[in-house]
A and B are shown apart, each in its own frame.
Chain A
Amino acid sequence: MAGSPYARGARDAAFAAFVAFVIALPMVGMRTVDRNLRLTLDFRLVEVASIVVLVFAGRFAMRLVGEGLARLVLPAAIAVVVGGWFADFATQTLKVVAVGGGLVVAATAILAIVKGARSARPVAPSAGPGLAARFAAGFQRSTVLVGIVGVAFAFALPLLPFADRRVLDVATTLLTYIMLGWGLNIVVGLAGLLDLGYVAFYAVGAYAFALLAMSLGLGFWEALPLAAVAGAVSGILLGFPVLRLRGDYFAIVTLGFGEIIRVILLTWVPVTGGPSGIGNIPRPDFFGMAEFVRRPVEGQVAFHQMFGLEFDVLHRLIFLYYLILVLALVVNVVTLRLRKLPLGRAWEALREDDIACTSLGIDRTNVKLAAFAIAATFGAIAGSFFATRQGFISPESFSFIESAIILAIVVLGGMGSQTGVVVATLVVIGLPEVFRDLAEYRMIAFGLGMVLIMLWRPSGLLAHREPTVRLHPAGGPPAETPAAGTAR
């Protein structure tokens, strides 16, 4: 293209600004509001103008950095950050965008200067093993160490001074998602099946647990294994018809099953309570010996009396925390062991090339069914835990978005990577929990984060996929290449 770098940058930025204008004009600039029982429009054109200016400036700056003019851009970006911090904007969001965008531009400018102002466009995802990839590889090599430290920290957490109610709650939620992520990892990461309806098994577990506990009066420790069995059975029942399907068909049918189960829970009112759900689900007790209550029923001891402690509501939370920690670790250990079995190897082989596997005599359907059933069992156990922890379940907790979140955890972590699941859970669930005050923006940030992480690390944060076993240790084909036949 002809012209000076400024002209080129300005042309490019003008186009981006135009697109931003088109996108923002109706959605941002005209707000539909109810007034006197009629829908009318409120205009917010200042915000549209600000968006257009910000997009223009941001794109222009990025282009200039790309053209090797980072030294010029850096002071301007810093000026925008500082100016944006003090200036008044139409809304708080715009301010965040201005300051944040300025920071991003400044950071890329600094990176470009450090790199000797190479002409590569900094926004494009780097193809070679960049810093993050090397970090991921190193992280994976030291997995054992990281794992030991992580588990030790997890066990010590309730004893630490800052572990109050909120910290324990968040940690328990995180562990629930880690457990679900590890469960789904068997299907998605190991067997390579895209399951968009994992939440169905979570729901089956939760409802099976609740119904067993409520109608048969079973305690937590009796209902849990039965709920797990229910999960396994549902996994086999659902898996049987769909596992013959391939690729995206499989994905959409699992999504369908997830929705079907949710709709059934919603409409089968006599059993599931419909939209109002099931309440008063019994809380777990201390291995059938004592309950976590202030005043136990006549003739029984409570947990705090058994150990001669002062009554504290935290006891139950700490117990729940350890419970889910142990459950999650069991899932992890089982998965790690399964990977070494012929079954686990068959999963990984299927993931890489299922036609080759079939020709080598692996029964595709049975092997996949095993993955499905095992993952469903783990999902159901996590669901039981969820039911007993919340004491209340309703179909709302099992919507598609939950499946999407769990799948996002697995994929963002780097499919098949157990530590990746943990890291991704911290990012996907942990960060929004920390910023709970910004509730309105939480889901927006969640969606945006999913997109950005994928753009930055398309195969996951800790993606460094190594087969568990290898025939020729050194020079095998790269594991990242998706098999051509399964890609479409």
Chain B
Amino acid sequence: MEYFLQQLVNGLTLGAVYGLVAIGYTMVYGIIGMINFAHGEIYMVGAFMSVIFFLLLGMFGLQWVPLQLLFVLFLAMAFTAAYGWTIERIAYRPLRSAPRLAPLISAIGMSILLQNAVQLLQGARPKPLPPIIQGKITLMTRADGFTVSISYLQIIIIVVTVALMAGFTLMIQRTALGRAQRACQQDRKMAELLGVDVDRTISLTFVIGASLAAVAGLMVVLYYGVIDFFIGFVAGIKAFTAAVLGGIGSLPGAMLGGLIIGIIEAMWAGYFKSELGEVAVFSILVLVLIFRPSGLLGRPEIEKV
């Protein structure tokens, strides 16, 4: 039971990270109906940005951890957002009216390009970073000394994710941008006719998605303490799985899907072979899609002739 709780805590943390990445997938899919395959690499870029800015701030002698974190968070979000914006502008916008597969191939190309460019520019070796936030709260202790604990870092990750989700949901529901996004999602042409700047809305969607992925990247840097140029691919697939699992196009769905994927992975690693975690994730995905093709929270697709 205690072991289960510990894995649950770990899974929730992992799931929060996946959820943040999954939002990027689900938003882009909702608004332009394409799988933004390069999104996993954006997350990887975000993680690299975090490492770079941590080192940079360290050089400037900024030692107070909360301020350091805040700075890195904002810098990584801003600079990674530029990547999201540029990729959309260069690789996807010209293909908006192209056959369905063209943007996907372009996205796969972008993903390969980013991965290898980062490898070339930053080197292929893993990048370790000393732990920045240490300490934990012990929740309960079993008779044999096994403790269930939640580290401060895990608390921060979960709190930041929840805060971002809340802010983000508010933005979608209350602001003009959110309204424009929902309009584009429903009917792009009609939204354009009614004066919504579709190009700008889509650009901003990519910017938001990329900055959330950057937050996820920062979390992973803090949580695992080591990254390399290849982390984007697997995380991207898992996050996309999370988006589909929750019902693609649905924001709470993405978060829910992320949490489920994270928990499954942590449980699997805790009780079975950890290498087969991916197999478990995909098997669940297949089962969900077969029995509930529109995902957990997605609206069923209506077939139109």
Q: Does B106 contact A (CB under 8 A)?
A: yes
For B112, what are the chain A residues with a Cβ–Cβ distance below 8 Å? 401, 404, 443-444, 446-447, 450
Q: Does B213 contact A (CB under 8 A)?
A: no
Q: Which of B102, B120, B285, B304 contacts A458 (CB 8 A)?
A: B102
Q: Does B279 contact A (CB under 8 A)?
A: yes
Closest Cβ of chain A to B208, distance in Å, is 17
For B108, what are the chain A residues with a Cβ–Cβ distance below 8 Å? 404, 407-408, 450
In Å, the complex CA distance between A39 and B123 comes to 12
- Among A241-249, A297-305, A323-331, A467-475, the one that faces the other chain is A241-249
- Count of chain B residues with Cβ under 8 Å from any Cβ of A? 72
**What range describes how many residues of A lie at the interface?**
35 or more
Q: Does B273 contact A (CB under 8 A)?
A: yes
B290 touches A245 (CB 8 A): yes
Q: Does B94 contact A (CB under 8 A)?
A: yes
B233 touches A356 (CB 8 A): no
Given A125-B94, A252-B240: A32 and B52 within 8 A (CB)? Answer: yes
B33 touches A488 (CB 8 A): yes
For B98, what are the chain A residues with a Cβ–Cβ distance below 8 Å? 454, 458-459
A264 touches B279 (CB 8 A): yes
A120-158 residues with Cβ-Cβ distance < 8 A to B are: 124-125
A28-51 residues with Cβ-Cβ distance < 8 A to B are: 28, 30-34, 39-41
Q: Does B100 contact A (CB under 8 A)?
A: yes
Annotate A250-264 by CB proximity to B: 1 below 8 A, 0 otherwise: 011101110110011
For A125, what are the chain B residues with a Cβ–Cβ distance below 8 Å? 94
- By secondary structure, the A interface counts as helix
For A75, what are the chain B residues with a Cβ–Cβ distance below 8 Å? none
Q: Does B275 contact A (CB under 8 A)?
A: yes
Q: Which of B52, B244, B303 contacts A249 (CB 8 A)?
A: B244
Q: Does A232 contact B (CB under 8 A)?
A: no
A447 touches B110 (CB 8 A): yes
Q: Does B117 contact A (CB under 8 A)?
A: yes
A41 touches B244 (CB 8 A): no
B99 touches A252 (CB 8 A): no
When C-beta atoms are compared, the residue in chain A nearest to B304 turns out to be A485
When C-beta atoms are compared, the residue in chain B nearest to A483 turns out to be B305
Q: Does A217 contact B (CB under 8 A)?
A: no
In Å, the complex CA distance between A28 and B237 comes to 27
- Among A19-27, A162-170, A309-317, the one that faces the other chain is A19-27
For A31, what are the chain B residues with a Cβ–Cβ distance below 8 Å? 121-123
B237 touches A447 (CB 8 A): no
Q: Does A267 contact B (CB under 8 A)?
A: yes
B305 touches A412 (CB 8 A): no
For B293, what are the chain A residues with a Cβ–Cβ distance below 8 Å? 244-246, 249
In Å, the complex CA distance between A323 and B51 comes to 51
B100 touches A487 (CB 8 A): yes
B79 touches A25 (CB 8 A): yes
Q: Does A400 contact B (CB under 8 A)?
A: yes
A415 touches B101 (CB 8 A): yes
B123 touches A252 (CB 8 A): no
Q: Does B149 contact A (CB under 8 A)?
A: no
B286 touches A407 (CB 8 A): no
Q: Does A266 contact B (CB under 8 A)?
A: yes
Q: Which of B52, B78, B99, B283 contacts A30 (CB 8 A)?
A: B52
B176-235 residues with Cβ-Cβ distance < 8 A to A are: 233
Closest Cβ of chain A to B69, distance in Å, is 17
Q: Does B168 contact A (CB under 8 A)?
A: no
For A33, what are the chain B residues with a Cβ–Cβ distance below 8 Å? 123
B290 touches A263 (CB 8 A): no
B106 touches A454 (CB 8 A): yes
A256 touches B286 (CB 8 A): yes
In Å, the complex CA distance between A157 and B34 comes to 42
Given A23-B83, A27-B121, A32-B51: A443 and B286 within 8 A (CB)? Answer: no
In Å, the complex CA distance between A404 and B38 comes to 13
Q: Does B105 contact A (CB under 8 A)?
A: yes
Q: Which one of A246, A257, A447 has the highest number of Cβ atoms from chain B below 10 Å of its Cβ?
A: A447
A124 touches B105 (CB 8 A): no
For B94, what are the chain A residues with a Cβ–Cβ distance below 8 Å? 124-125, 455
Q: Does A437 contact B (CB under 8 A)?
A: no
When C-beta atoms are compared, the residue in chain A nearest to B113 turns out to be A447
Q: Does B5 contact A (CB under 8 A)?
A: no
When C-beta atoms are compared, the residue in chain B nearest to A251 turns out to be B35
Annotate A440-455 by CB proximity to B: 1 below 8 A, 0 otherwise: 1101101111110011
When C-beta atoms are compared, the residue in chain B nearest to A93 turns out to be B120
B289 touches A455 (CB 8 A): no
A450 touches B105 (CB 8 A): yes
For A289, what are the chain B residues with a Cβ–Cβ distance below 8 Å? none
For A124, what are the chain B residues with a Cβ–Cβ distance below 8 Å? 94
Q: Does B282 contact A (CB under 8 A)?
A: yes
Closest Cβ of chain A to B183, distance in Å, is 16
For B111, what are the chain A residues with a Cβ–Cβ distance below 8 Å? 447
When C-beta atoms are compared, the residue in chain A nearest to B30 turns out to be A488
- Among B125-133, B137-145, B157-165, B259-267, the one that faces the other chain is B125-133
Residues of chain B at the chain A interface (Cβ within 8 Å): 29, 33, 35, 45, 48-49, 51-53, 55-56, 59, 78-79, 82-83, 85-86, 90-91, 94-95, 98-106, 108-118, 120-123, 125, 127-129, 233, 237, 240-241, 244, 248, 273, 275-276, 278-279, 282-283, 285-286, 289-290, 293, 301, 303-305
Q: What are 29 A-B contacts defined by CB distance under 8 Å?
A: A23-B79, A26-B49, A27-B49, A27-B52, A30-B52, A32-B48, A32-B122, A39-B129, A188-B101, A248-B29, A252-B240, A253-B286, A256-B237, A256-B286, A263-B278, A266-B275, A356-B305, A401-B112, A411-B105, A415-B101, A447-B109, A450-B105, A450-B109, A451-B90, A454-B91, A455-B91, A459-B98, A480-B99, A484-B304
Beyond A256-B237, A444-B116, A459-B99, 13 extra complex contacts between A and B, CB < 8 Å? A22-B79, A27-B45, A32-B123, A41-B55, A41-B56, A251-B35, A255-B237, A266-B275, A356-B305, A411-B101, A440-B120, A447-B110, A486-B100
